[in-house]
Amino acid sequence: METQRASLSLRCWSLWLLLLGLAVPWASAQALSYREAVLRAVDRLNEQSSDPNLYRLLELDLPPKADQDPDAPKPVSFTVKETVCPRRTQQPPEQCAFKKNGLVKQCVGTVTLDQSKDQQDITCDKARRSRPLPFLSPRIPRQSFPPPNFRPPRFPPPNFPPPRFPPPNFPPPRFPPPDFPPPRFPPPDFPPPRFPPPNFPPPRFPPPNFPPPNFPPPEFPPPNFPPPNFPPPNFPPPEFPLQNFPPPI
């Protein structure tokens, strides 16, 4: 009996926690945060703008003191800067990069945090060119919210049976035989080889060692020449010129 009561009490607590978990997100979805309301105002500003590019939130001033009434208008003051995304694109402005030396606008007005009542009254001054300050980052204050104090729900672990799939029965693939053309390589164009001249040492042969020849002396017959028959000489007598010596003294 006590076990049934404890089980019934646990079910009631689980139901209350489930209803509370469903109610809290619905209530939080109706009310926007201060930054979300300003981002909606920036979207409305881009819809009404005639400039070619979208504007993105650059700097947001500190929110006013906490007001529990989401229907009450909240004063806002923020700065927007021109991005590189065109105005007709479907990309959110927060995903667009700022344009170098883009236009800057200072906007003031009021917004409401109630999502169902889209009441905004924003006016912006004349656009001006921004000076490049790469060492400065946009100052966006952080909002602090108290941590939620909900008890985490305890659900029993799921006990699903493992899925059973039939083994695949795919037919083996049939590929046509490849029909590649034979490769055509250009004829090789190698330079003629250049070998160094041979440098062989001169051959060294041993001196010949032949035995001396042993030929018999030649035997020639004695000459048998006829005696010469010369004609007698027929020289003219010599004629000497007379000497013309001087007379002796």
CB count, 10 Å around CB of 61?
15
- Positions of E strands within 66-203: 74-86, 103-111, 120-124, 128-129
Average pLDDT over residues 164-189: 89
The share of the chain scoring above pLDDT 90, in percent, equals 9
Token pair of 9, please? 């009490």
Task: Tell me the backbone φ, ψ of residue 183, rounded to 5 degrees.
Answer: -70, 145
Could you read off the pLDDT of 21-75 as tens digits, one per residue?
A: 544 444 444 567 888 888 888 888 888 888 889 999 998 888 777 666 667 788 8
Q: Is the per-residue pLDDT at 182 higher than 80?
A: yes
Q: Which residues have CB under 8 Å from 44's CB, separation 6+?
A: 120, 122
Residue 17 has a pLDDT of: 54
Structure tokens at 7: 């089980």
The model carries a pTM of: 0.41
pLDDT of 13: 53
Residue 44: Cβ-neighbour burial (10 angstroms; 0-12, 13-18, 19+): middle
The answer as to CATH 3.40.50.150 being correct for domain 34-129 is no
pLDDT attached to residue 107? 92
Higher pLDDT pick, 191 / 67: 191
> Cα separation of 57 and 78, whole Å?
7
